[in-house]
Amino acid sequence: MPQRLDMADFDRLWRKLQSLGLNAYEARAYLVLVGHPRFKALELATRAHVPRQKIYEVLDSLVEKGFAQVTQEKTKIFSAVEPGLAIPSYLARRRQVMERAWRDQSRLADAIVDDLSAAYSRGQEGRGTLDFLRIITDPGQAAIQFREMLAEVQGEYLEFSRPPYAAQPFETDLIRAAAERGVRCSILVEPAFLEVLESEGHSVCQEPAVEVRVTERLPMKLAVFDGVRGMIALLDPVVTKPAWTSVLFDHPGMGQAMKGLFEDYWERAGDCVVEGSRLVIRPRRAEGS
Protein backbone atom coordinates (compact mmCIF):
# COMPACT_ATOMS: atom_id res chain seq x y z
CA MET A 1 0.00 0.00 0.00
CA PRO A 2 1.12 3.63 -0.44
CA GLN A 3 3.38 4.85 2.32
CA ARG A 4 1.34 8.00 3.01
CA LEU A 5 -2.15 6.47 2.97
CA ASP A 6 -3.64 4.14 5.54
CA MET A 7 -6.14 1.48 4.47
CA ALA A 8 -9.23 3.60 5.19
CA ASP A 9 -7.91 6.61 3.25
CA PHE A 10 -6.80 4.40 0.38
CA ASP A 11 -10.25 2.82 0.06
CA ARG A 12 -12.03 6.20 0.32
CA LEU A 13 -9.84 7.87 -2.32
CA TRP A 14 -9.96 4.79 -4.54
CA ARG A 15 -13.75 5.08 -4.72
CA LYS A 16 -13.63 8.85 -5.32
CA LEU A 17 -11.21 8.46 -8.22
CA GLN A 18 -13.58 5.95 -9.78
CA SER A 19 -16.38 8.50 -9.40
CA LEU A 20 -14.25 10.91 -11.44
CA GLY A 21 -13.95 8.40 -14.26
CA LEU A 22 -10.94 6.19 -13.59
CA ASN A 23 -11.55 2.46 -13.56
CA ALA A 24 -10.71 0.34 -10.51
CA TYR A 25 -7.24 -0.70 -11.72
CA GLU A 26 -6.33 2.84 -12.81
CA ALA A 27 -7.45 4.34 -9.49
CA ARG A 28 -5.47 1.77 -7.49
CA ALA A 29 -2.33 2.18 -9.61
CA TYR A 30 -2.45 5.98 -9.33
CA LEU A 31 -2.82 5.87 -5.54
CA VAL A 32 0.23 3.62 -5.29
CA LEU A 33 2.20 5.98 -7.54
CA VAL A 34 1.15 8.97 -5.41
CA GLY A 35 2.71 7.38 -2.35
CA HIS A 36 6.04 6.55 -4.03
CA PRO A 37 8.52 8.48 -6.17
CA ARG A 38 8.59 6.02 -9.09
CA PHE A 39 7.99 2.44 -10.16
CA LYS A 40 8.72 0.02 -12.93
CA ALA A 41 5.58 -1.42 -14.48
CA LEU A 42 5.81 -4.91 -13.05
CA GLU A 43 6.75 -3.58 -9.61
CA LEU A 44 3.67 -1.40 -9.68
CA ALA A 45 1.51 -4.34 -10.75
CA THR A 46 2.56 -6.22 -7.60
CA ARG A 47 2.08 -3.25 -5.24
CA ALA A 48 -1.26 -2.17 -6.75
CA HIS A 49 -2.64 -5.69 -7.14
CA VAL A 50 -3.15 -5.20 -10.87
CA PRO A 51 -2.81 -8.31 -13.06
CA ARG A 52 0.59 -8.30 -14.76
CA GLN A 53 -1.00 -8.76 -18.19
CA LYS A 54 -3.10 -5.61 -17.56
CA ILE A 55 -0.51 -3.25 -16.07
CA TYR A 56 0.82 -1.77 -19.33
CA GLU A 57 -2.71 -1.07 -20.55
CA VAL A 58 -3.50 0.58 -17.21
CA LEU A 59 -0.34 2.72 -17.24
CA ASP A 60 -0.84 3.78 -20.86
CA SER A 61 -4.34 4.93 -19.92
CA LEU A 62 -3.08 6.86 -16.87
CA VAL A 63 -0.47 8.60 -19.02
CA GLU A 64 -3.11 9.45 -21.65
CA LYS A 65 -5.45 10.83 -18.97
CA GLY A 66 -2.67 12.91 -17.44
CA PHE A 67 -2.32 11.07 -14.12
CA ALA A 68 1.07 9.45 -14.77
CA GLN A 69 4.28 10.30 -16.56
CA VAL A 70 7.02 8.07 -17.91
CA THR A 71 10.75 8.51 -18.15
CA GLN A 72 12.75 6.33 -20.50
CA GLU A 73 15.78 4.72 -18.94
CA LYS A 74 16.91 1.15 -19.62
CA THR A 75 13.32 0.28 -18.80
CA LYS A 76 10.33 2.60 -18.49
CA ILE A 77 9.92 4.22 -15.09
CA PHE A 78 6.50 5.60 -14.09
CA SER A 79 5.64 8.30 -11.57
CA ALA A 80 2.50 10.15 -10.55
CA VAL A 81 1.59 13.58 -11.88
CA GLU A 82 0.85 15.96 -9.00
CA PRO A 83 -2.89 15.64 -8.13
CA GLY A 84 -3.35 19.42 -8.21
CA LEU A 85 -2.38 19.35 -11.88
CA ALA A 86 -3.67 15.95 -12.95
CA ILE A 87 -7.26 16.14 -11.72
CA PRO A 88 -8.23 19.66 -12.93
CA SER A 89 -6.60 18.97 -16.29
CA TYR A 90 -8.44 15.65 -16.60
CA LEU A 91 -11.79 17.26 -15.74
CA ALA A 92 -11.20 20.06 -18.26
CA ARG A 93 -10.56 17.52 -21.01
CA ARG A 94 -13.65 15.51 -20.01
CA ARG A 95 -15.74 18.67 -20.13
CA GLN A 96 -14.50 19.42 -23.64
CA VAL A 97 -15.36 15.89 -24.74
CA MET A 98 -18.85 16.09 -23.21
CA GLU A 99 -19.52 19.53 -24.70
CA ARG A 100 -18.44 18.28 -28.13
CA ALA A 101 -20.69 15.22 -27.72
CA TRP A 102 -23.58 17.48 -26.63
CA ARG A 103 -23.13 19.69 -29.70
CA ASP A 104 -23.04 16.64 -31.96
CA GLN A 105 -26.18 15.23 -30.35
CA SER A 106 -27.93 18.60 -30.63
CA ARG A 107 -27.21 18.76 -34.36
CA LEU A 108 -28.39 15.16 -34.72
CA ALA A 109 -31.54 15.93 -32.70
CA ASP A 110 -32.36 18.93 -34.92
CA ALA A 111 -32.05 16.77 -38.02
CA ILE A 112 -34.21 14.04 -36.47
CA VAL A 113 -36.85 16.58 -35.44
CA ASP A 114 -37.01 17.93 -39.01
CA ASP A 115 -37.36 14.43 -40.48
CA LEU A 116 -39.91 13.25 -37.91
CA SER A 117 -41.91 16.49 -38.07
CA ALA A 118 -42.39 16.00 -41.81
CA ALA A 119 -43.52 12.41 -41.24
CA TYR A 120 -45.77 13.53 -38.37
CA SER A 121 -47.42 16.20 -40.54
CA ARG A 122 -48.13 13.66 -43.28
CA GLY A 123 -49.54 11.25 -40.70
CA GLN A 124 -51.88 13.90 -39.28
CA GLU A 125 -53.49 14.87 -42.57
CA GLY A 126 -56.62 12.91 -41.74
CA ARG A 127 -57.90 14.98 -38.80
CA GLY A 128 -59.78 13.22 -36.02
CA THR A 129 -62.80 14.56 -34.18
CA LEU A 130 -60.72 15.91 -31.27
CA ASP A 131 -57.59 17.06 -33.10
CA PHE A 132 -58.28 20.62 -31.96
CA LEU A 133 -57.51 19.53 -28.36
CA ARG A 134 -54.25 18.16 -26.97
CA ILE A 135 -53.38 17.19 -23.40
CA ILE A 136 -49.84 17.77 -22.17
CA THR A 137 -48.62 16.60 -18.76
CA ASP A 138 -44.90 17.35 -19.19
CA PRO A 139 -44.04 20.91 -17.99
CA GLY A 140 -41.14 21.22 -20.43
CA GLN A 141 -43.33 20.43 -23.43
CA ALA A 142 -46.01 22.82 -22.18
CA ALA A 143 -43.40 25.58 -21.88
CA ILE A 144 -42.19 24.99 -25.46
CA GLN A 145 -45.75 25.15 -26.83
CA PHE A 146 -46.51 28.30 -24.85
CA ARG A 147 -43.42 30.11 -26.13
CA GLU A 148 -44.12 29.07 -29.72
CA MET A 149 -47.66 30.47 -29.60
CA LEU A 150 -46.47 33.67 -27.92
CA ALA A 151 -43.82 34.10 -30.63
CA GLU A 152 -46.44 33.64 -33.38
CA VAL A 153 -49.37 35.70 -31.99
CA GLN A 154 -50.42 38.50 -34.33
CA GLY A 155 -53.18 40.58 -32.76
CA GLU A 156 -54.13 39.77 -29.16
CA TYR A 157 -52.57 37.94 -26.22
CA LEU A 158 -54.57 37.31 -23.03
CA GLU A 159 -53.20 35.50 -19.98
CA PHE A 160 -54.13 34.37 -16.49
CA SER A 161 -50.68 34.08 -14.89
CA ARG A 162 -50.22 32.16 -11.64
CA PRO A 163 -47.65 29.71 -10.17
CA PRO A 164 -46.19 27.16 -10.51
CA TYR A 165 -44.66 28.01 -13.89
CA ALA A 166 -43.53 25.71 -16.71
CA ALA A 167 -41.97 28.63 -18.58
CA GLN A 168 -40.49 31.83 -17.14
CA PRO A 169 -43.01 33.61 -14.88
CA PHE A 170 -42.91 36.64 -17.17
CA GLU A 171 -41.62 36.09 -20.72
CA THR A 172 -40.25 39.62 -20.98
CA ASP A 173 -38.47 39.33 -24.33
CA LEU A 174 -41.32 37.53 -26.10
CA ILE A 175 -43.95 39.89 -24.67
CA ARG A 176 -41.93 42.94 -25.72
CA ALA A 177 -41.43 41.48 -29.20
CA ALA A 178 -45.18 40.82 -29.47
CA ALA A 179 -45.95 44.37 -28.37
CA GLU A 180 -43.55 45.72 -30.99
CA ARG A 181 -45.48 43.73 -33.63
CA GLY A 182 -48.61 45.58 -32.55
CA VAL A 183 -50.03 42.77 -30.40
CA ARG A 184 -52.26 43.94 -27.58
CA CYS A 185 -51.07 42.12 -24.44
CA SER A 186 -53.38 41.84 -21.42
CA ILE A 187 -52.02 39.93 -18.44
CA LEU A 188 -53.96 39.22 -15.26
CA VAL A 189 -51.96 38.22 -12.17
CA GLU A 190 -52.43 37.52 -8.47
CA PRO A 191 -51.05 40.00 -5.84
CA ALA A 192 -48.05 37.83 -4.93
CA PHE A 193 -46.86 38.14 -8.53
CA LEU A 194 -46.07 41.85 -8.14
CA GLU A 195 -42.62 41.00 -6.76
CA VAL A 196 -41.84 39.06 -9.95
CA LEU A 197 -43.09 41.93 -12.08
CA GLU A 198 -40.89 44.38 -10.19
CA SER A 199 -37.77 42.24 -10.62
CA GLU A 200 -38.32 40.94 -14.16
CA GLY A 201 -41.09 42.80 -15.93
CA HIS A 202 -41.04 46.35 -14.61
CA SER A 203 -40.09 47.96 -17.93
CA VAL A 204 -42.48 45.77 -19.91
CA CYS A 205 -45.38 46.95 -17.74
CA GLN A 206 -44.80 50.44 -19.09
CA GLU A 207 -45.08 49.38 -22.73
CA PRO A 208 -48.15 51.07 -24.31
CA ALA A 209 -49.34 47.75 -25.76
CA VAL A 210 -48.95 45.83 -22.47
CA GLU A 211 -51.51 46.13 -19.68
CA VAL A 212 -51.30 44.27 -16.37
CA ARG A 213 -54.11 43.98 -13.86
CA VAL A 214 -54.34 42.23 -10.50
CA THR A 215 -57.09 40.09 -9.00
CA GLU A 216 -57.20 38.31 -5.67
CA ARG A 217 -57.52 34.76 -7.04
CA LEU A 218 -57.39 33.18 -10.50
CA PRO A 219 -59.22 29.89 -11.18
CA MET A 220 -56.59 28.46 -13.56
CA LYS A 221 -53.68 29.28 -15.80
CA LEU A 222 -54.88 30.47 -19.19
CA ALA A 223 -53.39 31.92 -22.36
CA VAL A 224 -55.45 32.89 -25.42
CA PHE A 225 -53.79 33.92 -28.69
CA ASP A 226 -55.74 35.83 -31.34
CA GLY A 227 -59.02 34.50 -29.92
CA VAL A 228 -58.46 31.08 -31.49
CA ARG A 229 -55.45 29.23 -30.06
CA GLY A 230 -54.46 28.84 -26.48
CA MET A 231 -53.63 26.81 -23.42
CA ILE A 232 -55.53 25.99 -20.24
CA ALA A 233 -53.58 24.61 -17.27
CA LEU A 234 -55.50 22.98 -14.44
CA LEU A 235 -53.99 22.19 -11.05
CA ASP A 236 -54.04 18.47 -10.25
CA PRO A 237 -56.26 18.13 -7.13
CA VAL A 238 -54.91 14.68 -6.21
CA VAL A 239 -51.12 14.94 -5.98
CA THR A 240 -49.45 16.56 -2.96
CA LYS A 241 -46.90 18.58 -4.93
CA PRO A 242 -48.52 21.29 -7.11
CA ALA A 243 -48.60 20.12 -10.72
CA TRP A 244 -50.46 21.27 -13.81
CA THR A 245 -52.08 19.37 -16.65
CA SER A 246 -52.24 21.54 -19.77
CA VAL A 247 -54.88 21.44 -22.51
CA LEU A 248 -53.94 23.03 -25.82
CA PHE A 249 -56.76 24.13 -28.08
CA ASP A 250 -57.02 25.45 -31.62
CA HIS A 251 -60.72 26.19 -32.04
CA PRO A 252 -62.58 29.52 -32.58
CA GLY A 253 -65.46 28.54 -30.29
CA MET A 254 -63.17 27.49 -27.46
CA GLY A 255 -61.08 30.59 -28.01
CA GLN A 256 -64.08 32.90 -27.74
CA ALA A 257 -65.35 31.11 -24.63
CA MET A 258 -61.99 31.47 -22.90
CA LYS A 259 -61.76 35.10 -24.01
CA GLY A 260 -65.18 35.73 -22.42
CA LEU A 261 -63.98 34.18 -19.15
CA PHE A 262 -60.85 36.31 -19.25
CA GLU A 263 -62.79 39.54 -19.88
CA ASP A 264 -65.13 38.82 -16.95
CA TYR A 265 -62.19 38.62 -14.52
CA TRP A 266 -60.38 41.46 -16.30
CA GLU A 267 -63.18 43.98 -15.81
CA ARG A 268 -63.29 43.33 -12.07
CA ALA A 269 -59.50 43.46 -11.52
CA GLY A 270 -57.38 46.34 -10.23
CA ASP A 271 -54.86 48.20 -12.37
CA CYS A 272 -51.16 47.56 -11.86
CA VAL A 273 -49.44 50.95 -12.00
CA VAL A 274 -45.96 52.32 -11.36
CA GLU A 275 -45.62 54.65 -8.38
CA GLY A 276 -42.07 55.79 -7.82
CA SER A 277 -39.98 52.64 -8.05
CA ARG A 278 -42.76 50.22 -7.09
CA LEU A 279 -45.70 48.50 -8.75
CA VAL A 280 -48.96 48.94 -6.83
CA ILE A 281 -52.59 47.87 -7.26
CA ARG A 282 -55.08 50.65 -7.97
CA PRO A 283 -58.74 49.55 -7.64
CA ARG A 284 -60.85 50.35 -10.69
CA ARG A 285 -63.79 52.70 -10.35
CA ALA A 286 -67.19 51.13 -10.85
CA GLU A 287 -69.08 52.38 -13.93
CA GLY A 288 -71.15 55.47 -13.18
CA SER A 289 -69.17 56.41 -10.04
Q: Which residues on adjacent β-strands are paired with residue 267? A: none
Where along the chain do the CATH 3.30.870.10 domains lie?
133-282
- Splitting the chain (289 residues) into consecutive groups of 10 residues, what average pLDDT does each group show? 66 90 92 87 90 92 91 82 91 90 86 76 58 80 87 92 64 82 88 66 62 85 92 72 79 91 89 63 56
Coil, strand or helix: which one is 11?
helix
The topology (CATH level 3) of 133-282 is Endonuclease; Chain A (3.30.870)
In order of 3, 17, 113, the CA distances from 26 in angstroms are: 18, 9, 40
3-state DSSP: the chain helix, strand, coil percent, rounded to 5? 50, 20, 30
CA distance 205 to 175: 10
pLDDT of residue 142: 84
Task: Look at residue 207 in the predicted model and tell me its pLDDT.
Answer: 64
pLDDT at 200: 54
DSSP annotation string for 124-162 = TSS--TTTTEEEE--HHHHHHHHHHHHHH--SEEEEEE-
pLDDT in the model for residue 152: 92
Note the pTM of the prediction, 2 decimals.
0.53
Write out the residue limits of the CATH 1.10.10.10 domain(s) in the chain.
1-118
Q: How far is CA 5 from each of CA 46, 59, 85, 107, rounded to the nearest angstrom?
A: 17, 21, 20, 47
CATH architecture of 1-118: Orthogonal Bundle (1.10)
In this prediction, residue 268 carries a pLDDT of: 85
Longest dimension (CA), the chain: 104
Q: What is the pLDDT of residue 261?
A: 93
